[in-house]
Amino acid sequence: MSPNFKLAPSILSADFSNLQAALEICNKGGAHWIHVDVMDNQFVPNLTIGPPVVKSLRPKTEKFIDVHMMVVDPEKLVEPFAKAGADNITFHIEATNDPVGVIDLIRSCGSKVGVSIKPATPLSDIFPILDKVDVVLIMSVEPGFGGQGYLPGANERISEIRKYLNEKCLDRVLIEVDGGIKLYNAKEVIDAGANVLVAGSEIFKSNNPIQTIKDFYQLTE
């Protein structure tokens, strides 16, 4: 039976000196997506990965590369990430005054479009643009670092988005959830309405990351 969700391991918690090994782990475990956390030291305090790294990863995997841009001025990085081979590019609603412009730009570059929302931002800020995106990425921690705890209240936000998407006949839009997802709470996130689970530290800090990916998929079998 195929699982009713996709797992997107976040390479933020992998060994940056050997990202090819991280890709092999995702491949052997059977993960669907590769989640790449882009941080600019402005939108969030941390500083991580840019387009050249995605360009290097691209020929090493056939999996769907999911770029999560936690950056100010997202429009400046759309084309570089698209050219580097990103399958999906997600921007933060808090980072722009022109979300439709960013969406149109991502589409014109040929990538799928995601919009992300921080835990304290009202969901009503993204409702008007959900019909224009492929993915809505709900943050279940404050963006910036791996290894944080899943915030209480995230499940209610997922359920509210699920309800909205159903009511508007927009269930083609995937709900992705990011931050604090572990084997012990993954099922409640799926039950709340998520289609894609991001998991970083639970996978890459475990003793057997390949087995951990498989364990995620067994949760709903």
Residues with a known catalytic role: 37, 178
Residue 165 or 177: which CB sits closer to ligand DX5? 177
* Shortest distance (Å) from residue 119 CB to Zn ion: 13
Residue 46: CA count within 13 A, CB half-sphere = 14
Applying the rule CB under 5 A, the residues between 36 and 65 that interact with Zn ion are 37
* Shortest distance (Å) from residue 67 CB to ligand DX5: 11
Among 135, 178, 186, 196, binds Zn ion (CB under 5 A): 178
| Distance, CA of 189 to CA of 108 (rounded, Å) | 32
| Distance, CA of 126 to CA of 45 (rounded, Å) | 24
Bridge partners of 69, per DSSP, are: 38
* Cβ-contact 7, 31 below 8 angstroms: yes
| Distance, CA of 91 to CA of 138 (rounded, Å) | 12
Q: Which residue's Cβ lies closest to ligand DX5?
A: 200
Residue 74 or 143: which CB sits closer to ligand DX5? 143
Cα distances (Å, whole numbers) of residue 204 to 19, 29, 76, 124, 215: 11, 12, 30, 34, 13
Residue 178 or 202: which CB sits closer to Zn ion? 178
* Shortest distance (Å) from residue 10 CB to Zn ion: 6
User: Which of Zn ion, ligand DX5, none sits in contact with 32, Cβ below 5 to 8 A by type?
Assistant: none
Applying the rule CB under 5 A, the residues between 57 and 116 that interact with Zn ion are 68
Binding residues with Zn ion: total (CB under 5 A)? 3
User: Which of Zn ion, ligand DX5, none sits in contact with 179, Cβ below 5 to 8 A by type?
Assistant: ligand DX5
Q: Which residue's Cβ lies closest to Zn ion?
A: 68
| Distance, CA of 206 to CA of 128 (rounded, Å) | 39
The single-letter DSSP state of residue 46 is -
Mutual orientation of helices 99-108 and 75-84 as an angle, nearest 10°? 20
* Shortest distance (Å) from residue 167 CB to ligand DX5: 28
**Residues engaged in binding Zn ion (CB under 5 A):** 37, 68, 178
